[in-house]
Structure 1
Amino acid sequence: MLRSSSSISRLPLDFLAYKYFADLNNSKLAVQQSLALIGFINPSRRLCDSLTSEFSFPYDLISSINTCFSVLACKKIHAQVIKTLNYRDGFIGDRLVSLYTKLDHLQYAQNLFDEMPDKDLVSWNSLISGFSKKGELINCLNALYRMRLEMGLGPNEVTLICILSACTDTGAFLEGVYIHGIAVKTGLINETKLVNSLINIYGKFGCLDLARLLFSTMQEPSLVSWNSIILVFVENGVSDEAVRMFNMMKRVGVNPDQATIVTLLQGCGDIGIINLAETMHGYILRAGLDENIAITTSMLSLYSKSGKLDSSKMLFEGMKDPDRIAWTAMIGGYSMHGRGKEAIKYFDLMVKRGLKPDHVTFTHLLSACSHSGLLIEGKRYFDTMSSVYGVEPKLDHYSCMVDLFGRSSCLKEAHDLIKKMPMEPNHGVWGALLNACRISNNVELGKEVAEKLFILNPYDQRNYVMLSNIYSAAGHYNDALKIKSLMKKRGVVRTVGCSFIEHRNKIHRFVVGDRSHQETHGFYLKLDELIKKIEVVGYKPMTKLVLHDVNEDVKVEMIKEHSEKLAIAFGLLVTEEGVPLVITKNLRICGDCHSMAKFVSLTEAREIIIRDVKRFHHFANGLCSCGDYW
């Protein structure tokens, strides 16, 4: 039975399309003529051929839906369905709902859905899935509520996975917990794919214990499950736990895939431990995965993040046909190690080989110029990236340039560049300018920039700490205390500085003034010995970097127990002579620890490699690879 024209008029139809078949008889021939007129069937096709099958018309519609890329065409199909099928073919109605949401016409999708007479669970899932892909969590939840209230339908695995995806995308943690509760009540909590989604959302919000607990309740975790829990640990900076899960995964007989290896290599790179990098490389070779370009690229990135840039270079040179991502990874490696000229060399070679750089390539290139003080080169590449290489500058590129100007003591140029930006600057750009204010000791501009950052990201502790440090360095201790009070009032927690060093396949972690390690007595004695030795050759504690209003003796003791110094002392105590020390710091290395490492590398004849949150520092013979520019 056809709908009345009044019912049709309430729908978002294309009436020009409708008029082509409104006056025709509802026959298969009329249907085919209609389709031919509005361009969905080739007019040259023999109409009698399509009439030999009972289902030719739905097939033609489905084909049209699958190739539809405009809302106008979607409305034409919509009109045909109303006139000829009366939505009795729910599959086509579901497809149309999905198509409207895909084309960002959510209200049309809702209207069409409401007009469908025979809605089943698949229909509701089509609507919820479409809303989910657009991040429309409220619409997803409303549909779930209506589905249960109006139709008496309970959700299935697909329903809840779609809603959890929207919860993750929109940062709706409590709503995700609510969906978890529904999964438990409906008995769906044993569905593997649904548990994977729950692990993912808990991981996104840093609830590692809940993610771990959910994983442990799975009777037979799939490969995707293992990949999910490994990714959760990597994304939350607990890469040693990710490595443990990987080893457990192998023990139970689950073979990793490319996603597993690439994720784990990323996590190992975050730790930056050489032995772990070499262990992973050995596994890749034994598993025959060394020909996989994505895995090899991740491996060379891991080597560069572990301080072994020469190993990265060897891997890269052994690649048969490195792609743009591999070239970009090498440029990024040289950037991280402060070797800007080598980064430029690889960029020029990449272009000569006919590979087109993208925005990521330029981010690494401009960062390399910033870390090496290559102001002229950085300006040249920034000015030509659009006109010569067809890459429009994005926020990351402006952030790199502001950082480059700031490190080069060109604070005015940095500020002027921000004023000329064609888009609104984000927290990364303003953060680079705030750091430039710190370098130039500009309190007034620093305060102004920090206020902008407090609005953009009120819970980022780095902005408060940096402004507090600017005040303290200028002797404005009362203002610094006010900033610390503001942090406390807003519930902003300051990240504790810590340093890591690997010894005998174990990662040792140190924080300032650490007394928890079993070797505490030994490495503190070693630290006292080191301080006395390097003072003889010219080391003096930079107590001005202690941003507290306390007397000089207290400042000396406070700066003496920084985590980098403890890690250096421990490394010298437990390793053989001549073995390089590789240390990872979760924050930027301070000036005094930088000075101390240079002197220790001289007196102990040791290479010391420290990777901080920004870059690598290679200390040898009393010098640093950064040239004291970082």
Structure 2
Amino acid sequence: MLRVPFGVSQFSLTFFSNRTFFSLNKFIYNQQLFSIFTSINQERTLCNLFSYDTQSLISAVSSSSSISSCKTFHARIFKSLNYEDGFIGDRLVSVYTKLGFFEYAWNLFDEMLKKDLVSWNSLISGFSRKGELNYCLNSFHRMRFEMGLEPNEVSLICIISACTERAAFCEGNYIHGLAIKTGLIVEIKVVNSLINMYGKLGYLDMARQLFDAMPKPNLVSWNSIIIVLVQHGVFNEALEVFKVMRRIDVKPDQATMVSLLQGCGDIGVMKLAEVIHGYMLSAGLDENITIATSVLSVYAKSGRLDASCALFREMKNPDRIAWTAMIGGYAMHGYGREAIMCFDELIKIGMKPDHVTFTHLLSACSHSGLVKEGKRYFEIMSSVYGVEPRLDHYSCMVDLLGRSACLKDAYELIKRMPMEPNHGVWGALLNACRINKNVELGKEVAERLFTLDPSDRRNYVMLSSIYAAARQWKDASKVRALMKEREVARTPGCSFIEHRNMIHGFVMGDRSHPEISRIYIKLEELIRKIQNVGYKPNTEYVLHDVDDGVKEDMVKKHSEKLAIAFGLLVTEEGLPLVITKNLRICGDCHNMAKFVSLTEDRVIIIRDVKRFHHFADGLCSCGDYW
């Protein structure tokens, strides 16, 4: 009688005439499976008599996590089985591709005598999941032209996924044409994949055309186009699509709500976020921790940190992502101490922080000037919590040290990094050079950034700003000329404010708003008023060598100032103004907002690309440390 190793209680043995049948429980561990088959294989002749419960065996083999165990299964088990039909071979091929051993997968696949369309799709799918576009396309070509097999929707979806992963527009466009030629364009999953691909590759019009041409889009289709529109910053269009979706009675799911909330957070739309939150409550989605966390983040990004805190307290069992989002909310608002308290509470209840948690925590320390605390957390994140520092963490530390005028320490930290510093790390140091007006180091760092990414306008603007602050106008002019030569487009500063369910946007010197005449009259009135209590325009932020009068006129028309004037015109007295800026707020607008908060007795909340600034009674929450 065959003896089963002690402790392997998940196996049951059944004997059928001249062969033994093993029924393997699908929850068996690979080690147990390997142990019993090693024992059996000691008698080679016996192995040939056995037939196995194939589905359970495949389930166990599919969870193999190392190449050595996979090869052992291959050699000791599958060589004794007849997998010429491709079923077991397909699974082993998938395991090899999952582990990244593509040549093993390819060679094994070639050994299989019977390969049908399912086999080829399994091979292509394995390569696709690893982003191996060349392997995908080669397999696809062989399948069609060597084997004469026509693809189905699974084949195309796998290729499209790999094209999306590798940003391969031409190849993806070719697959789109093939889908039309073969008639597979009528398959809704294929169209959804193409919408996702075109959207992620930046071809919004093509994604929209595909969606509009669909006779009956499903929920995935609606979600795909909403996500694409949100990612491209056309939130109003995404909202219109959502309205149509609801009008025809398509019920949104978690993906829909999270996408819309992301859009609300990106542009700081508070009222719409509240509407979506209300819909969640009525639809019974408030218990969904993922959606609740998204709402929490939106409130924080929209200036309502109090609402974020209240929602967080209402969560029954917040997970690590929710805790991390709360820490991130405190960080972006500059509440470093509160972020640390939140982190300590997370540790106290036994949760383990991850790399995102530490990114937010270090960012909170940086925005609050907590140098000592930031250094300590950076030191213990690896030794105590087992989280190895990544580029984002180094970027936060360089920012922390640089803002504290420790430029030398920040530079030395970069030199000691175990990995090559990226644009985020060097960018943090360049910004520190701008804050500390260090021209020489700023020039050196900027050159490194120009090499890493010559198309990033922010680096040119910062270097030009450093030169302008030092009144080195020729050098500042050379930087602008270099931008023009390299065709680096400047992103215009734009400020947004919400009023009556509409987003009103302003750029410097704007004349397009229907209320622009009243806005400029209000702005002139404000400036005269705050000048009487000490405000003086700071023309240091004008990067051109022009007369002081021209400089004053230029800073006077910055987008933040226009948004503030408009907000005071249209909102009820006493209500806070919430403004979103797509770039970093300039020093003069920051100073002006402090004076306006004092003279108008208003709370002004401005969210720039880095953080939130809460202005009240002539002061800012950042303590002029940003």
Name the TM-score, length of structure 2 as normaliser. Answer: 0.90
* CA deviation profile, 1:237-291 (whole Å, cap 9, x unmatched): 2233323222222111111112221222122111112212211221111111112
Distance 1:46 1:319, change over 3 A: farther
1:554 to 2:550 alignment = yes
Give the distance between the partners of 1:201 and 1:442, measured in 2 at CA.
44
Shift of 1:236: 2.2
* CA deviation profile, 1:551-574 (whole Å, cap 9, x unmatched): 112111111111111111111111
- Determine which of 50, 61, 67 is the counterpart of 1:65: 61
Distance 1:491 1:110, change over 3 A: farther
Matches within 5 A, 1:250-261: 250-261=246-257
Residue type of the alignment partner of 1:40: F
Matches within 5 A, 1:438-517: 438-517=434-513
Q: Contact between 2:230 and 2:238, CA under 8 Å: does it hold in 1?
A: yes
Q: Contact between 1:31 and 1:84, CA under 8 Å: does it hold in 2?
A: no
Q: Contact between 1:61 and 1:77, CA under 8 Å: does it hold in 2?
A: no
Partner residue in 1 for 2:179: 183
Give the distance between the partners of 1:37 and 1:134, measured in 2 at CA.
27
Shift of 1:591: 0.5
* CA deviation profile, 1:380-435 (whole Å, cap 9, x unmatched): 22222222333222211111111011111111111111111222222111111111
Residue type of the alignment partner of 1:529: E
Give the distance between the partners of 1:157 and 1:368, measured in 2 at CA.
47
Shift of 1:370: 0.8
1:102 to 2:113 alignment = no
Q: Contact between 1:366 and 1:400, CA under 8 Å: does it hold in 2?
A: yes
Q: Contact between 1:81 and 1:87, CA under 8 Å: does it hold in 2?
A: no
Distance 1:181 1:481, change over 3 A: farther
Backbone CA RMSD of aligned residues:
2.8
Q: Contact between 1:28 and 1:51, CA under 8 Å: does it hold in 2?
A: no
- Determine which of 283, 287, 290 is the counterpart of 2:286: 290
Partner residue in 2 for 1:375: 371
Distance 1:28 1:573, change over 3 A: farther
Residue type of the alignment partner of 1:205: L
Partner residue in 2 for 1:90: 86
1:231 to 2:227 alignment = yes
Matches within 5 A, 1:77-476: 77-78=73-74, 87-476=83-472
Distance 1:42 1:241, change over 3 A: farther
Secondary structure at the counterpart of residue 325 of structure 1: helix
Shift of 1:52: 11
Shift of 1:45: 14
Distance 1:181 1:391, change over 3 A: same
Distance 1:63 1:224, change over 3 A: closer
Distance 1:194 1:71, change over 3 A: same
Secondary structure at the counterpart of residue 186 of structure 2: coil
Greater mean alpha carbon deviation, residues 297-306 or residues 460-469: 460-469
Q: Which runs of 5+ in 1 are unaligned?
A: 1-26
Distance 1:73 1:376, change over 3 A: closer
Shift of 1:468: 2.1
Give the distance between the partners of 1:506 and 1:37, measured in 2 at CA.
64
Give the distance between the partners of 1:205 and 1:71, measured in 2 at CA.
34
1:40 to 2:37 alignment = yes
Partner residue in 2 for 1:10: none
Q: Which runs of 5+ in 2 are unaligned?
A: 1-16, 23-32
Q: Contact between 2:85 and 2:115, CA under 8 Å: does it hold in 1?
A: no
Greater mean alpha carbon deviation, residues 377-386 or residues 211-220: 377-386
Distance 1:82 1:66, change over 3 A: closer
Shift of 1:374: 1.2
Give the distance between the partners of 1:57 and 1:602, measured in 2 at CA.
78
* CA deviation profile, 1:16-47 (whole Å, cap 9, x unmatched): xxxxxxxxxxx986999xxx999538749999
Shift of 1:114: 2.4
Name the TM-score, length of structure 1 as normaliser. Answer: 0.89
Distance 1:248 1:59, change over 3 A: closer
Q: Contact between 1:328 and 1:360, CA under 8 Å: does it hold in 2?
A: yes
Secondary structure at the counterpart of residue 605 of structure 2: strand
Partner residue in 2 for 1:536: 532
Residue type of the alignment partner of 1:103: L
Q: Contact between 1:273 and 1:582, CA under 8 Å: does it hold in 2?
A: no
Partner residue in 2 for 1:586: 582
Shift of 1:209: 1.6
Shift of 1:612: 0.6
Size of the aligned set, in residue pairs, is 601
Give the distance between the partners of 1:497 and 1:261, measured in 2 at CA.
29
Shift of 1:302: 1.2
Give the distance between the partners of 1:581 and 1:70, measured in 2 at CA.
57
Greater mean alpha carbon deviation, residues 319-328 or residues 332-341: 319-328
Q: Contact between 2:128 and 2:136, CA under 8 Å: does it hold in 1?
A: yes
Q: Contact between 2:495 and 2:559, CA under 8 Å: does it hold in 1?
A: yes
